[in-house]
C-alpha cells in the first residue's frame, strides 16, 4: 500500500481517549491522532516510547519493538471502527488475522526522542449484518520518524458486547473466567527471561520449554495473566498479541536468542482461528519453515489448532 495523504498533518502531543482503543491504562495508549482522509481512508499518529515495562524490556534496546508497532496499528484499527464506522463504544473486536512486513529494518533504530509512527490506512473490506458491523479489514502503510518502515494488513471480527458474551457462554457451556480471576502459577519450569531476550520474568511467556535443534515446544505460561500490558483489562481469552509474543520467543530460542539472524521482527503473519481459553493449557510448537528463514508457531488447545503465526527475525 502506498501512502497518498502525506499532506495531512497529524499530531503527537497527546494521546486519544483510551476508550477509543479499548485500554484501561493511559500508559498503554500509543495512538496520538486520527483524521479521516476519504470514504474508506484515514491517517493516524502514534508515539513509540523510549521506556516501557513490556515493549522496552529487551536486552537489545537499539531498536523499536515491531510488536509495539503492531499494537499501535491495532489501536488505529480500533479507533477507526468507532470514529470512521460509527460502531458503538461497547463493540467487541477480535483479531482474526494480521500481517506485518518491515521493509526497512534500519528504520527501527531508536533515536533520542520517542518514535513518531505515521499510519496511512484504508478499509479494504467490511461486512454488515442487521445494521451491525461484523467484519472489517485494513491495509496500512507505515512511516517511522519520516522514513518508510513497512506495511500491515489486519482483519477484525466485530460484535456487540452482549452478543459476544452470549457466544462465549454458548461455546464453552459456562461463564468464561478472566485473566484477573485465575492463578498465575507457572505450568512446569518457567523459561528464564534472558533466554528470550527479556529482563523481567513477567514478560517471558513460555513454560516447560523443550528445544530440539530448531524445533521448540512449550506451554503458554499463566504468568502472563499478571502482565498488565498483555492483559490491560480482564480478557476472557488469550489475546492475539500474546500468541504473537509466544511466536517471537520461540523463534528467539530456536536461533540462540537471535544470534544467528538478529532479534528484530521483520515479518509476522498470524491467523487466529479459535478462542484460546485461559483455564486450559495451550500447547506451543514452533519449527523452521523450509527455504524461507521463517519460523512457524502453532498454538493448540484440547487437540485443536487455535492459532498459527509465521515469523522472521533479522
How many alpha carbons lie under 13 Å from residue 138 in its C-beta half-sphere? 34
pTM tops 0.85, yes or no: yes
For the chain, percent helix, then strand, then coil, each to nearest 5?
25, 35, 40
DSSP state of 26: G
What is d(CA 222, CA 247) in angstroms, rounded to the nearest whole number? 16
One CATH from 3.40.50.970, 3.40.190.10, 3.40.50.10490, 3.10.129.10 for 176-313: 3.10.129.10
Instruction: List the chain domain ranges.
Output: 18-165, 176-313
In this structure, which topology does domain 18-165 adopt according to CATH? Thiol Ester Dehydrase; Chain A (3.10.129)
pLDDT on residue 213: 87
pLDDT at 262: 84
Asked if the domains at 18-165 and 176-313 fall in one CATH topology, the answer is yes
Please say whether the beta carbons of 77 and 246 come within 8 A.
no
Q: What pLDDT score was predicted for residue 258?
A: 62
Per-residue confidence of the chain (314 residues) as pLDDT tens digits? 444 445 789 999 999 999 999 999 999 999 999 999 999 999 999 999 999 999 999 999 999 999 999 999 999 999 999 999 999 999 999 999 999 999 999 999 999 999 999 999 999 999 999 889 999 999 999 999 999 999 999 999 999 999 999 999 999 999 999 999 999 999 999 999 999 999 999 999 999 999 998 999 999 999 999 999 999 999 999 999 999 999 999 999 999 866 767 899 999 999 999 999 999 999 999 999 999 999 999 999 999 999 999 999 99
Could you give the CA distance from residue 144 to residue 129 in angstroms, rounded to a whole number?
37
Give strand pairing partners of 284.
Answer: 218, 299
Q: State the angle between helix axes of 240-254 and 66-83 in degrees (0 to 180), rounded to the nearest 10.
A: 160
**Cα–Cα distance for residue pair 282/292, rounded to 1 Å:** 26
In this predicted structure, what is the pLDDT of residue 5?
47
| pLDDT given for residue 242 in this prediction | 99
Whose CA is closest to 310, among 115, 159, 101? 101
**Which of 268, 274, 273 shows the shortest CA–CA distance to 310?**
268
Amino acid at each position: 500500500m502506498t501512502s497518498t495523504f502525506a499532506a495531512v498533518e497529524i499530531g503527537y502531543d497527546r494521546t486519544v481517549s483510551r476508550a477509543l482503543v479499548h485500554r484501561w491504562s493511559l500508559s498503554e495508549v500509543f495512538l496520538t491522532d486520527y483524521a479521516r482522509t476519504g470514504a474508506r481512508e484515514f491517517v493516524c499518529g502514534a508515539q513509540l516510547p523510549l521506556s516501557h515495562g513490556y515493549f522496552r524490556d529487551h536486552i537489545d534496546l537499539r531498536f523499536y519493538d515491531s510488536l509495539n508497532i503492531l499494537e499501535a496499528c491495532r489501536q488505529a484499527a480500533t479507533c477507526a471502527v468507532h470514529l470512521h464506522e460509527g460502531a458503538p463504544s461497547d463493540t467487541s473486536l477480535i483479531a482474526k488475522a494480521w500481517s506485518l512486513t518491515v521493509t526497512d529494518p534500519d528504520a527501527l533504530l531508536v533515536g533520542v526522542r520517542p518514535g513518531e509512527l505515521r499510519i496511512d490506512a484504508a478499509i479494504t473490506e467490511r461486512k454488515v449484518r442487521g445494521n451491525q458491523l461484523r467484519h472489517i479489514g485494513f491495509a496500512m502503510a507505515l512511516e517511522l520518524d519520516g522514513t518508510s518502515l513497512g506495511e500491515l494488513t489486519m482483519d477484525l471480527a466485530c460484535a456487540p458486547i452482549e452478543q459476544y458474551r452470549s457466544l462465549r457462554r454458548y461455546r464453552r457451556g459456562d461463564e468464561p473466567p478472566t485473566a484477573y480471576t485465575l492463578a498465575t502459577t507457572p505450568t512446569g519450569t518457567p523459561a528464564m527471561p534472558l533466554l528470550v531476550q527479556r529482563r523481567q520474568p513477567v514478560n517471558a511467556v513460555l513454560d516447560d520449554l523443550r528445544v530440539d535443534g530448531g524445533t521448540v515446544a512449550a506451554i503458554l505460561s499463566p504468568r502472563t495473566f499478571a502482565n498488565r500490558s498483555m492483559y490491560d483489562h480482564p480478557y476472557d481469552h488469550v489475546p492475539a498479541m500474546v500468541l504473537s509474543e509466544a511466536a517471537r520467543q520461540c523463534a528467539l530460542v530456536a536461533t540462540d536468542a537471535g544470534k544467528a539472524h538478529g532479534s528484530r521482527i521483520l515479518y509476522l503473519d498470524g491467523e487466529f482461528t479459535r478462542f484460546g481459553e485461559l483455564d486450559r493449557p495451550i500447547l506451543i510448537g514452533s519449527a523452521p519453515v523450509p527455504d524461507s528463514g521463517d519460523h512457524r508457531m502453532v498454538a493448540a488447545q484440547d487437540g485443536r489448532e487455535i492459532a498459527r503465526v509465521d515469523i522472521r527475525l533479522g
